[in-house]
Amino acid sequence: MRRVSMLLVMMMLTLNACAFSRGTLGDEIKTETVNLIKKGVTTRAEVLALLGAPDRLLQLNGRDLFQYYRYDAKVGSLLLIVANFSRVSIKSDDLFVVIAREGTVEEVIASKRTEGLEFRFWPFGD
C-alpha cells in the first residue's frame, strides 16, 4: 500500500501534461451503405448516388475501379518532467468497387480498420 502511494505521489510530481489529438481525412464509409451494393445488380449510377464520386478512379483490365477512403489518426502523449512519450496511430478504411464493362458491380472490397483504433501513448511493445 505504501509503495502504491509512493508511486502515485511520484507520478503526480513528475506528470507534467497529457495530450490527446485526433485527425480524420475523408468522409465515413458507412457499413449499411456498403451493404446496399449488390454484385451483378447495382449499377454504376446507383453506386455514385449512394457514395458520391470516388476519391480515386482507376482502370482495371478494362473495368472501372472506384476507390473510397477515409483516414483516422489518434495521437496520445504523456509528458513527464524527466521524459516524454508519445505515439501516433493511423489507420484507414478503404472501399473498392469494381464496375464490369456492362456497367454493374462486379466486386466490392471493403473493411473498417479504424474501428479498433485506440489512443496510445506508450511507444514500446506492439
Partner 1 sequence: MTSWSRSLTLLFSLVLAAALSGCNVARLTINTPLTSDSVAFITEGRTTLADVIATLGAPDSMTDAEAGTLVTYRFLDAKYSRVNFGWLLKPWSPVDPDLVFSRSGLGTDAFELLCDNNWIVTHQAFVRHRPAPPFTPYPF
- Please tell me whether residue 104 binds partner 1 under the rule CB under 8 A: no
DSSP annotation of 43 reads B
- Please tell me whether residue 102 binds partner 1 under the rule CB under 8 A: no
- Please tell me whether residue 5 binds partner 1 under the rule CB under 8 A: no
- Please tell me whether residue 123 binds partner 1 under the rule CB under 8 A: yes
- Please tell me whether residue 25 binds partner 1 under the rule CB under 8 A: no
How many CB atoms neighbour CB 106 within 10 A? 16
| Residues ≥6 apart with Cβ < 8 Å to 26 | 55, 68, 69, 70, 71
Exposure b/e, 10-24, CB count within 10 A at least 16 = b: eeeeeeeeeeeeeee
Judged by CB under 8 A, which of 33, 46, 94, 100 binds partner 1? 94
With respect to partner 1, which residue has the nearer C-beta, 41 or 83? 83
Candidate ranges 1-9, 19-27, 40-48, 109-117; the one touching partner 1 (CB under 8 A): 109-117
**Which one, of 109, 110, 78, 76, lies nearest residue 90 by Cα?**
76
- Please tell me whether residue 7 binds partner 1 under the rule CB under 8 A: no
With respect to partner 1, which residue has the nearer C-beta, 8 or 109? 109
At 1, list the grid cell: 500500500
Binding interface with partner 1 (CB under 8 A): 58-61, 65, 67, 81-96, 107, 109-111, 113, 123-124
